[in-house]
A and B are shown apart, each in its own frame.
Chain A
């Protein structure tokens, strides 16, 4: 069975400082990894997926198969980045029905 671990429940950073949210996974196959974000009073939304290799809102995430990690990074945190972030895994070639979320990391960016 797959598992997604986000070791930090809360991450507090100052505006302009770098931020890194850790995500480790365990899965015997080749998964697809995602980061979802939930801003205050908004619905959960997709931030990044590893196959897209994009930078969204200044965030990047690299899949490291050797370390089974998919850490989310941003060089300069902004106050609007304050939100709940979830790392998630979709096993391949399995279906969305086995999608697995991590416990989430609350990010607070202070001025």
Chain B
């Protein structure tokens, strides 16, 4: 299995500021992803975090708004930039292991005032 540590677990932020969320996994994984889960909705994939290169973003998500880094196989960050109340959501880190099983972090609950 893979144990994912995601920080912070929650935050309340002011409009216009940025928040960086960290994701650390305890073993080497093949893939890392970032998801968003808006209130009352399902999970939506934001991007695939690629090691040492630019992330691959899904339709509707752009690098300027959600810059992602993945400097090594076990760590990634997601930044939510220039936040607005519409960014209030749960942000989830997810990994896929070499056994082809997907695991999720506990999530970061973000509220933007």
Contacts and interface: CB of A to CB of B under 8 A. Distances in A.
Given A86-B42, A96-B96, A99-B45, A46 B105 contact: no
Interface string A75-111: 0000000000010000000011101011110000000
Chain A contact residues (Cβ within 8 angstroms of B): what range? 10 to 19
Contacts, number: 37
Nearest to A97: B48
Interface string A23-46: 000000000000000000011111
Interface in A1-53: 42-46
Contacts of A101: 42-44
B107 A103 contact: no
A96 B33 CA distance: 9
A43 B45 contact: no
A44 B44 CA distance: 14
Nearest to A84: B42
Contacts of A95: 31
Interface string B58-71: 00000000000000
Closest 5 CB pairs of A and B: A44-B104, A101-B43, A43-B106, A101-B42, A103-B42
Interface of A: 42-46, 86, 95-97, 99, 101-104
25 contacts: A42-B106, A43-B4, A43-B104, A43-B105, A44-B43, A44-B104, A45-B104, A46-B101, A46-B102, A86-B43, A95-B31, A96-B31, A96-B48, A96-B102, A97-B31, A97-B33, A97-B45, A97-B48, A97-B56, A99-B33, A99-B45, A101-B42, A102-B42, A103-B42, A104-B42
Interface of B: 4, 31, 33, 41-45, 48, 56, 92, 96, 101-107
